[in-house]
Amino acid sequence: MQTRTFKTCKTSLQVRLRTSAAAVAVLSAAACVAPVCAQESNTNVPPPPASATQSDAGKITTVLKEGLQPGAKVSISDQQLENAGQDQQDWLLHGRTYSNDRYSPLKQISESNVGSLVPAALVQTGMAAAFEVTPIIADGVMYITTPIVDSQMKIIALNAATGAHLWEATYKVGVEKLCCGPVNRGVAIGYGHVFVVTEDDELVALDAKTGKTVWDTQIIDPRAGYSESMAPQLYDGMIIVGSSGAEYAIRGFVAAYDAKTGKQIWRWDATDPNTFAGDSWKTGGGTVWNTPAIDPARGLVMFAVANPNPDLNGESRKGDNLYTDSIVALNVKTGKLAWYYQEVKHDLWDFDAVSNVVLFDAKDQDGKTVPAAGEAGKVGYFFIVNRENGKLIRKAGPFVTINMKTFGLPPTKDGLVFQPGPGGGSEWSPPAYSPNTHDVYVLGANQAFKLTKSEPSPIPGLKRWGSTLTPTDMANKSGTITAINVDTGKIDWQVKTPEPMVSGVLATAGNLVFTGEDNGWFDAFDAKTGKRVWRFQLGAGVNAPPVTYEVDGQQYIAVAAGGNFLQHTQTGDTLAIFKLASETAATH
């Protein structure tokens, strides 16, 4: 096996090909439909480059021992991505569809036979750390990313049925200034390329068949505190990415890049100068951690925006601090603001919106079915808005315990205990929506925190928390998975778990809901009743969203088990692939 290295000023990318299989606050009551505002430039960091660095021949070479089959379908088109909902075989987008609904019409695996689910492969990546990836599957090939270990991360192509390695790219991370763990949540695929963003703010396009670098571009300077952990979104020839790191003195943004060249097309800055005191908007936070949803019919890209900065102390940033803690819709072609709904004004509690926005149809207050968007907030409510205008339809829940004695009060120098705390409510964990039940399945965390007010660090480059966070009452922490009816806001069922839930949800036409627990259990529930019908122990925290797909007529379920940064669970490096036992599948 040979490796060659592609080098830029601060990174290197090594590609290796394998042929052997791997081993087994206050809540805002109304939306604001805003006019398009002129976005100020981000003056506190160097601007992103105008174009990508094209890789020259010879900078990276690959020895193909097996790789993908010659006829492998890797040139995924815009039409295929837009019609991903009708594609039962593949999982082409981060949320399976542009709606981020994480619902599959596959039903070979159902509540009647899920007890026969067995491992088809246990792939060990060799990168044991917080493993939060959503696998992408196209024509029997699975693409995953790993967390960062020893300043390296991997992008891997696998046989989706057997787990055999097809190619593997190792990325050397340069500057690291991480807020919340060495994680990467996956790739986007299309046009024959695999697209990934890195913790040190590189956007990289790889050849989907070989793993060779096609181009890469620097999104922004990571030395200021910017980082990238999200899976990018691909739409109409554009790669759309957000930013992480709002615990540092930065200004968050969402940007679109040309998928052919890496050149920036548009950029929207997430802090509004009119709602931050003085110049505090320049370092006002507002990062975007989650992969956006797309509404092609309305030409909108929708996402949730995280906390303002300084976090937990708002004295220097008086005002509502738009567009932090908000659901935001932009014109997907231009990046211009279409509408927003702010969940929490002037956040002092780290109630940032970090879970994926999900699109579905729901009944409004008059019983009329309208296009809607929902987001599971850290405050413990699921916010449903009309995606035509951003107006609130209903605030469903709560799906976790809320301490109403302190909810909405500012932290004090003596300290106040809050629940939900900075871990939620719902964390980054993506929900799933089933059109069969009209339920959205949301994960929650019951964990109290004591917030003790302090002064934010005045030293450039350090996190500006503004309070000390201390978990309390650890004996009573727990998690929830909750089925919420989007038409009524009522809870249809809820299951409590021993630990806070930080993973993701998959819903299927087989009347099943899959999710993982911190203690290593991978669970399946009856989607209508919440009865647990199957579980499997994977030995490390199952803190990643599951996916499902079909290869040669066989339905598979895949999920990563490697723990997470937030709960400090047992780490691991396993990508588990499940299928029905052969005799069960044959008689189905």
Residue 50's pLDDT is 37
DSSP string, 357-418: PEEEEEE-TTS-EEEEEEEE-TTS-EEEEETTT--EEEEE---S---TTTTTPPPBSS-EEE
pLDDT of 248 > 50? The answer is yes
Dist CA 167 CA 145 (whole Å): 12
Region 53-64: mean pLDDT is 35
Region 225-244: mean pLDDT is 96
Residue 177's pLDDT is 73
CB atoms within 10 A of CB 1: 8
Dist CA 315 CA 309 (whole Å): 11
Order across the sheet with 416-418: list the strands: 416-418, 448-453, 467-472
Smallest CA-to-CA distance from 547 within 97, 5, 4 is with 97
* 350 catalytic per annotation: yes
Smallest CA-to-CA distance from 95 within 440, 499, 520, 551 is with 440
Dist CA 469 CA 424 (whole Å): 13
pLDDT digits (tens, 9 = 90+) for 191-215: 999 999 999 999 999 999 999 999 9
Residue 66's pLDDT is 66
Dist CA 413 CA 403 (whole Å): 19
Residue 585's pLDDT is 58
| Residues pairing with 554 in the sheet | 551
Residue 54 lies in a domain: no
Dist CA 106 CA 551 (whole Å): 12
Which tokens belong to 282?
Answer: 């320049």
Cβ neighbors of 67 (< 8 A, separation 6 or more) are: 17, 166, 167, 209, 210
pLDDT of 408 > 90? The answer is yes
pLDDT of 9 > 70? The answer is no
Region 8-21: mean pLDDT is 35
Residue 59's pLDDT is 34
Region 101-125: mean pLDDT is 98
Read off the pLDDT band of 45 (50, 70, 90): very low
pLDDT digits (tens, 9 = 90+) for 183-193: 999 999 999 99
Region 134-155: mean pLDDT is 95
Residue 359's pLDDT is 98
Q: What separation, in Å, do the N-terminal and C-terminal C-alpha atoms of the chain show?
A: 43
Smallest CA-to-CA distance from 134 within 163, 102, 181 is with 102
Q: Decide the pairing of beta strands 202-207 and 5-7.
A: unpaired
Dist CA 496 CA 574 (whole Å): 25
Number of domains in the chain: 1
Dist CA 68 CA 157 (whole Å): 9
For the chain, helix (H) and strand (E) counts, in that order, are: 2, 39
Which tokens belong to 66?
Answer: 């097996």
Indicate which residue of 207, 350, 352, 439 is catalytic.
350
Domain that holds residue 198: 5-49+60-587
Q: What percent of the chain clears pLDDT 90, i.e. is strictly above it? A: 78
Output the average pLDDT for the chain. 88
Residue 58's pLDDT is 27
Q: Which carries the bigger pLDDT value, residue 30 or residue 384?
A: 384
pLDDT of 243 > 80? The answer is yes
pLDDT of 3 > 70? The answer is no
DSSP string, 5-34: EEE-SS-EEEEE---SBPP---B--S-B-P
Residue 214 lies in a domain: yes
Residue 568's pLDDT is 67
Read off the pLDDT band of 14 (50, 70, 90): very low
Which of 45-59, 209-223, 376-390 is the least confident region? Answer: 45-59
pLDDT of 247 > 80? The answer is yes
Residue 149 lies in a domain: yes
Cβ neighbors of 482 (< 8 A, separation 6 or more) are: 397, 399, 441, 442, 443, 444, 491, 493, 494, 495
pLDDT of 218 > 90? The answer is yes
Q: Which carries the bigger pLDDT value, residue 569 or residue 479?
A: 479
SS3 state of residue 273 = helix
Which tokens belong to 86?
Answer: 């009708």
pLDDT of 11 > 60? The answer is no
Residue 222 lies in a domain: yes
Q: Which carries the bigger pLDDT value, residue 1 or residue 260?
A: 260
Question: What CATH number should be reported for the domain holding residue 568?
Answer: 2.140.10.10
Read off the pLDDT band of 69 (50, 70, 90): confident
> In the 8-state DSSP scheme, what is residue 80?
H
- Name the CA dihedral angle for 531, 534, 538, 544, rounded to a multiple of 10 degrees: -50
Q: Which carries the bigger pLDDT value, residue 224 or residue 275?
A: 275
pLDDT digits (tens, 9 = 90+) for 340-352: 999 999 999 999 9
Read off the pLDDT band of 18 (50, 70, 90): very low
Q: Which carries the bigger pLDDT value, residue 326 or residue 182?
A: 326
pLDDT of 324 > 90? The answer is yes
Which tokens belong to 424?
Answer: 């939620």
- One-letter amino acid identity for 169? A
Read off the pLDDT band of 567 (50, 70, 90): low
pLDDT of 473 > 80? The answer is yes
Residue 457 lies in a domain: yes
- Exposure of 403 by Cβ count < 10 A (0-12 exposed, 13-18 middle, 19+ buried)? middle
Read off the pLDDT band of 40 (50, 70, 90): very low
